[in-house]
Each structure stands twice: as structure tokens, then as C-alpha cells.
Chain A
Amino acid sequence: MSGNTITRAQLSEAVYEEVGLSRNESANLVEAVLDEMAKSLIDGETVKISSFGSFAIRHKSQRMGRNPKTGEEVPILPRRVIIFKPSHVLKNRVNLKGDS
């Protein structure tokens, strides 16, 4: 458990090494992957990536919340949130500790 943070730069570098496109094009394509996923989700569509997981939209209705600092009641407006459901493959892989 190292606790590093991976960003777009490392993803692009991995793509650059695996696919053999230029660094610039690799970075643009990583961005395109994220853009396409975001676009589908904004359209309300579920995004299913086999052996990774699925991203779905859930509609939340309005509820009363409280400003924790002032104690004042404020309505939390209806909104859409993304639910990520990891696949079994991903769940298993984050629990591998040398076995299987």
C-alpha cells in the first residue's frame, strides 16, 4: 500500500508505451475516453465497462439538509448522481494479497 496518486499523465504514458502512438496523441485519446464516458452519463445513459465496472445515473429527490456551521435548514435540490458499481473482476483484484 504505497498511497501514490495516479493522474492523466501516467495513464497517457502507459498508453504511449503500450500502443506506440505519439505522447501528444496518447494524451488526447485518454481525454477522449473520459469525454465519451462523461457525455453518455450526462445524457443519462449507463456506461458499462466489462471487467471494470458500470457507471449509472441515479435521480435524488429533494430533501432538507442543514448547514452544519450555522444549523440553518436548507433544501437540497433534486439532483442526479453517478453510482459506480465495480465488477467482480475489479473487486477481486483489489483484494488480492498474493493469493490466486
Chain B
Amino acid sequence: MTKSELILKLADANPHLYQRDIETLVATVFEEITHALEHGDRVELRGFGAFSTKQRDARTGRNPRTGDSVEVTEKNIPFFKTGKQLREKLNP
């Protein structure tokens, strides 16, 4: 399922709404999550899962093609942990 298919499903289930409002709604949900992660905040959606960022330390990496050493700076990566309820539904 893609974002546009998600929008269509929601539009089908809510014929009283404008599709452009549903588009704004879906965009807002993911924008808010992104915004929170940008600030180092955590997003906890009980039953579904939680989004957070994890810090990766600076390291010396290698260019796999040339074998040259390159310094990789410390960085944050987005992380998703599946919620208990969803985990149970995946494995009934």
C-alpha cells in the first residue's frame, strides 16, 4: 500500500469528506511525526508502535569501491518499534 492508496481507502470510507482534506490529513500525520523526530522527541502510538531516533557514533568508514578511509560523523537515525498489540496481531 502506498500513500496514495491509503488516501483512496480513507476517501472511500469517508465519502462526506473532500479528498484534498484527507490528503492534508495524511500529510499532517507524517509531517508531525517527522517534526517530532527532528527535535529528538519520541512519538508513541499505543498499540501501533513508537518512533524515536537513535544516535550512531562517529566512526571511520571505508569507501567500498576504493578502500579509502573516510570519517563518518555522528548521526541520528529514525527508529520504529512495533507496538505490543500490532505484534500480537502479526503473530496470532
Contact = CB atoms under 8 A, between A and B. Distances in A.
A14 B21 contact: no
B9 A36 contact: yes
Contact of A55 (B22, B28, B33, B80): B80
The interface size bin for chain B is 35 or more
B19 to A, nearest CB: 12
B42 A29 contact: no
Given A14-B32, A33-B10, A2 B2 contact: no
Interface of B: 1-3, 6, 9-10, 13-14, 17, 21-22, 24-26, 28-34, 36-46, 48-49, 53, 75-80, 82, 86-87, 89-91
Interface of A: 1-8, 10-11, 14-15, 18-21, 26, 29-30, 32-34, 36-38, 40-42, 45-53, 55, 57, 79-82, 84, 86, 90-91, 93-96
Nearest to A1: B40
Main secondary structure of the interface of A (DSSP, over half): mixed
Contacts of A53: 78, 80
B43 to A, nearest CB: 5
Contacts of A55: 80
Contacts of B9: 36
A99 to B, nearest CB: 12
Contact of A93 (B3, B29, B37, B82): B37
A6 B30 CA distance: 12
Given A41-B86, A45-B1, A80-B90, A33 B40 contact: no
A30 B26 CA distance: 8
